[in-house]
Amino acid sequence: MLPARFAPILFGFLLSGIMSCIVTLVAAIKNVGFSSQAVDAWLSAWLFGWPVAFCVVLVVAPMVRGFVNRLVKQG
């Protein structure tokens, strides 16, 4: 088990992995159709995109959280 202080980083890691996986798969299928090329294109794009997405999530998530907190009524 990881200490609780790592929760935001782990959340960002998993979220960026899942989202980049889905988005790159959809883009690969759109570009090359359902074929063996789609798997190669998807895997290549995902492995390139996931670290980028992870860094973006770590930077952007706190800003979005603050923006959302200003938009919602606190209970």
Q: Are 43 and 20 in contact (CB under 8 A)?
A: no
Q: What are phi and psi of 36, to 5 degrees?
A: -65, -25
Residue at token pair 């895997």: 43
pLDDT digits (tens, 9 = 90+) for 49-68: 999 999 999 999 999 999 99
Confidence (pTM)? 0.82
pLDDT digits (tens, 9 = 90+) for 19-48: 999 999 999 999 999 998 999 999 999 999
Distance, in Å, from the CA atom of 31 to the CA atom of 45, rounded to the nearest integer, reads: 12
- pLDDT over 90 (residue 74): no
Distance, in Å, from the CA atom of 52 to the CA atom of 47, rounded to the nearest integer, reads: 9
Stated length of the chain:
75
Extract the tokens encoding 11.
């959340």
